[in-house]
Structure 1
């Protein structure tokens, strides 16, 4: 593949563009490059009964997430109904609960693995390895009907979904503070409670459910405010576009060995976010380049990278771009860390 390499020092001399053209990739893709939310997940020692009632005392000790926001960004209108989630874990399961404010609880679909978001629904997206490959999605409606699937990579990179994956050992229940499918009364909310066994999302025999590990996670709520749509997409951390399948923009889920209610841990971001954002800006620029010309490019200048972009990186960083017509590999060596962040045309992310 052809290769282009630029360092922080070299970039200032690499582009001779007028200042008006120096906005760069970070500004161009800023909506898709917001800093994801994070959640520190604590252990439970209680025996959890998955019934949707959330009667276990430990649920009240688990912090709520922030209220869900519009998928397109924090500056979009606030959802008219509130949604928050809580998480816990033990040696076997990741536990998730959510309360969805809802004045009219409706659910029509009854068969597993139908397209559940045609009803109002609650959705969980999990990428335990954080590489954007072979991730998991679990959806359910207010009847507790499940649509679960695995995706080999995001749709934007030509990904395929595998509906035949049924989350083995999944426990899920819902409860209604109101009545289901009765239009004439006023309801208050519905509740989801689930237990996802780590074995269902484990790859290569490496149990990802361990203290200190950080997963990528997001929640989505699809809400039909009127018949025929359009649907609302309310999420925990926004992706900057109406597309949940952007694992790089999901939130961070950090596992703590502390029992819920017995102290707290600070979230430790696994990445230098300035370098992370530049890398993903290059990824989005390559997708646009391919959409325009039918090919990728090794030229950072053609992609629109500017000295203002590279100025955000730690001192001593450098960028490499390798590309052929049909594939590319972008990397950012993060100055002062010895770590290199890498992403390819499939959206596979790794730290070397």
Structure 2
């Protein structure tokens, strides 16, 4: 065969192989386009929700959902079992959407939350279905447990519908509660707040359930409204899947008390404001006797005091204290400071805790709690400095505080008087 003909044969062979490869790749692309809807359908059928989305939605563009609260018929027993007929009659909040790890996709486990009420109490019942109930993670029974390490159902309530502030709480399958207040659209929070409420949970063959009762006297709201409309959102965490899903969709790594993106709770009638007064007196006595030989010295001392919490209006609360005693307050964790900057200890005295966010200005950016980013709070006022002088404690003789909301304004006023002491 001549050399020229041999070269032409090689070129023709290469051209044939190239054309064959091009057509093969084109055919594979068409086949992939044909089978794509089938694959999406398989994903949809494998999920445990009834209306799973095969493609992610934009959480911020999605419409905000609405949930209607239903008046309870008869009494509701808080036992963790949603077996009263009123629960079955209430419409559920469902179709949760993942915020992590697959933002915008439907939750892999079904969740249903219902809301009831009577004249004095708000009831919340939640059913968390689980395809592997033996793998539910619940380790803690302590108050204010560390929620990222547990399966939880959580919720937030914006009782003034200002889209900025909220009460929030998390419940794990053991019935432990983590509650607090959030301010400035989730930029600051106060986990030291402790609300009066009751919760019970129940382990089931197909998941777990939670039943919660919150007295309206625990919450602050506007009683002048003929019909109450609150901001609300729910979060479900499945720890083994590292999955957080919310009823009102939110952006990735956003917390449930970001109320600007919350849904709405409707159906509540006009509620009577509670001007409740809580009085907590205390008495402290001490008796000491000398222990040295020949010394019979005895010394007796006593002290009394009073704390009063008075709800002037459902939106305004006055706290009064006289001869304040903080001996029962949890001690600070000891730390060794090798820097030139002073240590920052959180406030733990009950008198200063409620509505402490009134005096915090929050971060300019969103706080990423999962990545451990620390908040850059503009703390112009730090109440831990009250009762201290030169690092030594100074007795607080009396004080008063007014916090809450008046119309469209958030109000905060504080006055404390300290006793004289020898330093």
Class of the TM-score when normalised by the shorter of the 2 chains: 0.5 to 0.7
1:177 aligned residue: 204
Displacement of 1:101 after TM fit? 1.1
Give the Cα separation in 1 of the matches to 2:83 and 2:59: 39
2:353 aligned residue: none
Give the direction of change, closer, same or farther, for the CA distance of 1:47–1:74 in structure 2 (3 Å limit).
Answer: farther
Displacement of 1:232 after TM fit? 0.8
Does 2:208 correspond to 1:196?
Answer: no
Q: Deviations over 1:33-62 (max 9, x none)?
A: 432000121211311111111121111111
Displacement of 1:128 after TM fit? 0.7
Question: Is the contact between residue 213 and residue 254 of structure 1 (CA under 8 Å) also seen in structure 2?
Answer: yes
Displacement of 1:131 after TM fit? 1.2
The match for 1:237 among 243, 248, 252 is 248
SS of equivalent to 1:234 = strand
Displacement of 1:114 after TM fit? 2.0
How do 1:323-334 and structure 2 match up within 5 A?
none
Displacement of 1:97 after TM fit? 0.6
Displacement of 1:66 after TM fit? 2.5
Give the Cα separation in 2 of the matches to 1:120 and 1:196: 22
How do 1:1-352 and structure 2 match up within 5 A?
31-71=59-99, 76-102=104-130, 103=132, 104=134, 105-155=136-186, 159-168=187-196, 170-178=197-205, 188-203=206-221, 206-207=222-223, 212-226=227-241, 231-244=242-255, 245-256=257-268
Give the Cα separation in 2 of the matches to 1:219 and 1:48: 21
Give the Cα separation in 2 of the matches to 1:95 and 1:117: 25
Give the Cα separation in 1 of the matches to 2:259 and 2:165: 11
Give the direction of change, closer, same or farther, for the CA distance of 1:72–1:38 in structure 2 (3 Å limit).
Answer: farther
Give the Cα separation in 2 of the matches to 1:68 and 1:243: 15
Question: Is the contact between residue 134 and residue 153 of structure 1 (CA under 8 Å) also seen in structure 2?
Answer: yes
2:4 aligned residue: none
Q: Deviations over 1:267-288 (max 9, x none)?
A: xxxxxxxxxxxxxxxxxxx969
State the number of aligned residues.
216
SS of equivalent to 2:175 = coil
2:400 aligned residue: none
SS of equivalent to 2:69 = strand
Give the Cα separation in 2 of the matches to 1:127 and 1:73: 26
Give the Cα separation in 1 of the matches to 2:145 and 2:100: 26
SS of equivalent to 1:196 = strand
Question: Is the contact between residue 92 and residue 197 of structure 1 (CA under 8 Å) also seen in structure 2?
Answer: yes
Moved more, 159-168 or 48-57: 159-168
SS of equivalent to 1:64 = coil
Moved more, 109-118 or 121-130: 109-118
In the superposition, the TM-score normalised over structure 1's length comes to: 0.56
In the superposition, the TM-score normalised over structure 2's length comes to: 0.47
SS of equivalent to 2:266 = strand
Gaps of 5+ in 2: 1-57, 271-363, 367-377, 379-407, 410-423
Gaps of 5+ in 1: 1-29, 179-187, 259-285, 289-325, 327-349
Displacement of 1:241 after TM fit? 2.9
Q: Deviations over 1:154-203 (max 9, x none)?
A: 34xxx3322221111x011001114xxxxxxxxx1100110111121215
Give the Cα separation in 2 of the matches to 1:54 and 1:207: 29
Of structures 1 and 2, the one scoring higher in RCO (CA 8 A, sep 6+) is: 1
Give the Cα separation in 2 of the matches to 1:124 and 1:87: 12
Radius of gyration: which is bigger?
2
Give the Cα separation in 2 of the matches to 1:46 and 1:154: 37
2:309 aligned residue: none
Question: Is the contact between residue 171 and residue 177 of structure 2 (CA under 8 Å) also seen in structure 1?
Answer: yes
